[in-house]
Chain A
Amino acid sequence: MKENCLDIGIIQSFLDGEVSHTESARVSGHTAQCDDCAVMLAEAEDQSAVVFSALEREFNTLVPTQRLWNKINDSIATERANRPFWQKAFAFLTVSLAKPSFAATASLLVVVGIFAAVWMNRAPVPADIAVNGSQSQQTTAAVVPPTLISRPAPVEPEIDTTSAPTYRVERASYRREKRRVNSAPTTINASANFSTVYMPGEESYVKTISSLAKTVEEQKDGGVMRPSERIAYERDMAVVNDAIAKMKKEVKRNPRNESAKQVLYSSYQNKIDLLNSVSQKEELLVSLK
C-alpha cells in the first residue's frame, strides 16, 4: 500500500455515498491509477453486497418520523371517536370472541337466557296437580279449555268407585288462539261466537240475526240514525247481548232450565226486533223520498 493510497474508511464512505462530490471525484481518480486501492474498493464492494443483501429488508423499510407517528395517532383517535357504537361493539366482539374464554362465557349466557325465557313462558301448573282417581275425572270435565267450549262434551267414562284410588298427575296447558282480526261488527258476533252446538230452533235465530246484522250495520252507518238514536240502539243491543250471553251460559250449565231457555229465545227475538227496527226505519225513509 502506498502512502497516498486511500483509507478503507474513505472507500467505505465512498461506497455508502457519504463523501462529498469533490472527495468522490478524488477517490474515483485515485482508484483509476492505483491498483491497490482499486483492489481494496472491489473487496469493499463485495463485502457491502453481501451485507446489503442480508439487510435489504431492514434498509428498505420506511422508518416513520415522529411527525408521521403523531399524524397517524391523531387520525386513529378521530376515526375511533366518529365510529358508531355497533361498529365498536362488532369490532370488540370480533376481537373478543377470538378468545376462547370470552366465547365460552357468551355462549353460556345465551343458553341461560334462552332457558330463562322458556321457563318464564312455561304454562302454569294447576293447583290441584295430584288428585285421586274420581276427583281427577271431575276436574278434567270441569276444566275445559276455552277453545273446546263449543264442541260437544266427550262421553264421560264410568268411574269405578269401588277400586282403590289411583293417583294420577295431570297437567293442563292453556294456550290462547291467535286473535283473529275480524272486520265484522261486534254486535254481530256477540251471540254468533258462543257456540256451534245449538239448541232446537236456536240455529235459525242465529242465522237470521247474522243476516240481519250485516244489513243493519251498513244502514246504521249510512246516517239512518241520529246520534241519540244510535246511542239508544247500541245500549239496547248491549242489553240484549248480555241477556243472551247469560242465558246461554245458564242453559249450558243446566240444560233442564226451561226458564233460561225461554228467556234466551225471547232475547233472540228481541235482538231480531231491534235489528228490524233499523231496517223498518230505513224502508220508511226511502218510501218518503
Chain B
Amino acid sequence: MKQIIDNLMLSAAMAAILAGLPVLAFSQFRLPAPPEKPERIERVEKHDPPAMPMIWGGDTSEKSIKVDSSINLSLCITQGTVKVNGWNRNEVRVYVQDGSKFGFNVREKSSRTGDPIWIKVMGVAIKGKYGAPQECISGNEIEIDVPVNATIGIRGNETTTTIDTVRKVEVKTVEGDITLRNISGGIFAYAGQGDVSVEASTGAMMLETTTGNILVFEASPSEIGDSFKAKTNGGTISLQDLRHRQVEVGSISGSVLYSGVIRNGGSYNLSTSKGSIRMLIPADSACQLQATFGAGNFSSDPELGIKLLTENVSEGPIKSIVGKLGTGGDAAVKLTTNNGSISIRKQ
C-alpha cells in the first residue's frame, strides 16, 4: 500500500514538472513592461573634499618695467590671489608674496617710443645656479599695477582674480571668482567654477561660467554695436542697469533677473531651461514682447500696459504670449523658460 502511495505521489510530481517546464520556459518571454519612467534626477548635495591647504613659503619679490601706455600684459597663474590695478603711470609693477620667482619677457616694443607694448610675466624655476623660465607663476598674493590703458590677459588655475581700472580684460580661470571693475574697453571672462561679477564697465562683454553666478551692475557699450552675452550652466544671472542694446543671456538651471531700461532698437534675449525670468523695467518702456514658457506662468504689472497680440496658453508643454509694451517701438524682448515663470514688473 505504501509503495502504491509513493508511486502515486511520484507520478503526480512528475506530471506537474512536465506540465510546468514549458510554462517556465515561455514565461521568460512575457509581454514587455510599460516603458520605464525616466529616472528622477535627485539633487544631491555633495561637497567636494576639503581642498589641500596651500603651502606657501616661496620668495617675496617685486619688479617693475617701463612700458608703453597701451601695454598688453599677459600672465599665467597656477595658484593665488591676483589683484590688478590701473594707475596713471607708464610702468608695470608686479609684486609676488610667498611665491615663485618671476621675470618680464618683452614680446614686442613700440616702434614709436621703443617701450614695450606686449610683455609677459614669466616664472623662473631655480635649478642649481641657473634659472629656467616657466610659463606660470604662483604666489599667496600677486599684485600688479598697470597703466589704465592696459590690456590684461590672465589664465589661471586656482585663482581669485580682481581687476580694476584697465582698458580691456581677458580672463580664463579653472576655478575661482572673477571680479572686474571699471573696465572701459570690453571684457571676456570665463570661470570654470566660480562667480563672475562686473561693475561699472563698458564695452562688449562675454561672461561665462560653468557652475557660478553672473552679476553685472552698471554696464554699457563703449561703441554702438557692442554686445553683451552672459552664459552659465547652473548659476543665476543678475543684470542691473545694463545699457547694451544687444543682450543675450542664457542659463540652463538658473534664474535670470534683468533690471534696467529697454533701449530703443535693442534686442534682448533672456532664456533659461529651468528657472524663472524676472524683468524690472521703467513704466514707460516700449518693446515688442514674446514670452515662451512651459511649466510655469506669465505675469506682468498692469501699469506697464501690455497689449497681447496672440496668446497660446492652452494645455501643452509650451505656451507663448506675443504682445507689446507701451507704444511697441522697435525693441524686441524675447523671454524663454522651459520650466519656470516669467514676470515683468515696473521699476
Among A51-59, A106-114, A131-139, which stretch is in contact with chain B? A106-114
Q: Which of A88, A109, A175 contacts B19 (CB 8 A)?
A: A109
B residues near A120, Cβ cutoff 8 Å: 23, 26-27, 30
Q: Which of B20, B173, B320 contacts A113 (CB 8 A)?
A: B20
* Chain A residue at minimum C-beta to C-beta distance from B172: A284
Task: Say whether A259 contacts B292, CB under 8 Å.
Answer: yes
Give residues of chain A (217-235) contacting chain B, Cβ–Cβ below 8 Å: 226-229, 231-235
B residues near A249, Cβ cutoff 8 Å: 317
Give residues of chain B (32-56) contacting chain A, Cβ–Cβ below 8 Å: 32, 35, 38, 41, 43-44, 46-48
* Chain B residue at minimum C-beta to C-beta distance from A231: B46
Bound-state CA distance A250–B46 (Å) is 35
* Chain B residue at minimum C-beta to C-beta distance from A146: B35
> A227 and B19 in contact (CB under 8 A), knowing A239-B253, A240-B252, A260-B317?
no
Task: Say whether A270 contacts B31, CB under 8 Å.
Answer: no
- Count, chain B residues at interface, CB 8 A: 62
* Chain A residue at minimum C-beta to C-beta distance from B51: A226
Bound-state CA distance A124–B22 (Å) is 21
Q: Which of B14, B155, B338 contacts A246 (CB 8 A)?
A: B338
Task: Say whether B234 contacts A232, CB under 8 Å.
Answer: yes
Task: Say whether B273 contacts A270, CB under 8 Å.
Answer: yes
Bound-state CA distance A114–B22 (Å) is 6
Task: Say whether A281 contacts B253, CB under 8 Å.
Answer: no
Bound-state CA distance A247–B339 (Å) is 12
B residues near A93, Cβ cutoff 8 Å: 14
A residues near B27, Cβ cutoff 8 Å: 117, 120
Task: Say whether B274 contacts A263, CB under 8 Å.
Answer: no
State whether the Cβ of A47 lies closer than 8 Å to any Cβ in chain B.
no
Q: Which of A228, A235, A263 contacts B47 (CB 8 A)?
A: A228
Bound-state CA distance A117–B22 (Å) is 7
> A121 and B233 in contact (CB under 8 A), knowing A113-B19, A229-B211, A266-B271?
no
Among A15-23, A30-38, A193-201, A272-280, which stretch is in contact with chain B? A272-280
B residues near A191, Cβ cutoff 8 Å: none
Bound-state CA distance A244–B193 (Å) is 26
> A121 and B30 in contact (CB under 8 A), knowing A109-B15, A229-B193?
yes
Task: Say whether B320 contacts A259, CB under 8 Å.
Answer: yes
Interface size classification for chain A? 35 or more
State whether the Cβ of B76 lies closer than 8 Å to any Cβ in chain A.
yes
B residues near A273, Cβ cutoff 8 Å: 231, 233, 250
Q: Nearest chain B CB to A125's CB is how many angstroms away? A: 12
> A123 and B31 in contact (CB under 8 A), knowing A226-B193, A229-B210?
yes
State whether the Cβ of A236 lies closer than 8 Å to any Cβ in chain B.
yes
Q: Nearest chain B CB to A129's CB is how many angstroms away? A: 18
A residues near B30, Cβ cutoff 8 Å: 120-121
* Chain B residue at minimum C-beta to C-beta distance from A93: B14
Task: Say whether B210 contacts A277, CB under 8 Å.
Answer: yes
Q: Which of B32, B43, B211, B317 contacts A247 (CB 8 A)?
A: B317
Mark B1-35 against chain A: 1 for CB-CB distance below 8 A, else 0. Answer: 00000010011001100111111011101111001
State whether the Cβ of A50 lies closer than 8 Å to any Cβ in chain B.
no
Task: Say whether A236 contacts B14, CB under 8 Å.
Answer: no
A residues near B32, Cβ cutoff 8 Å: 174-176
B residues near A229, Cβ cutoff 8 Å: 192-193, 210-211
Task: Say whether A106 contacts B18, CB under 8 Å.
Answer: yes
* Chain B residue at minimum C-beta to C-beta distance from A124: B31
Give residues of chain A (245-289) contacting chain B, Cβ–Cβ below 8 Å: 246-247, 249-250, 257, 259-260, 262-263, 266-267, 270, 273-274, 277, 280-281, 284-285, 287-288
Task: Say whether A281 contacts B210, CB under 8 Å.
Answer: yes
* Chain A residue at minimum C-beta to C-beta distance from B254: A236
B residues near A114, Cβ cutoff 8 Å: 22, 26
B residues near A266, Cβ cutoff 8 Å: 271, 336
11 CB < 8 A contacts A-B: A106-B18, A110-B22, A113-B18, A116-B22, A116-B23, A121-B31, A229-B193, A229-B210, A243-B338, A259-B292, A259-B318
Give the 9 A-B residue pairs with the shortest CB-CB distance, closest first.
Answer: A117-B26, A176-B32, A259-B320, A113-B19, A113-B22, A109-B19, A236-B252, A238-B41, A246-B317
Q: A117-B27, A288-B156 are in contact. List 9 more A-B contacts (CB 8 A).
A: A121-B26, A121-B31, A176-B32, A236-B252, A236-B273, A259-B318, A263-B294, A263-B318, A270-B250
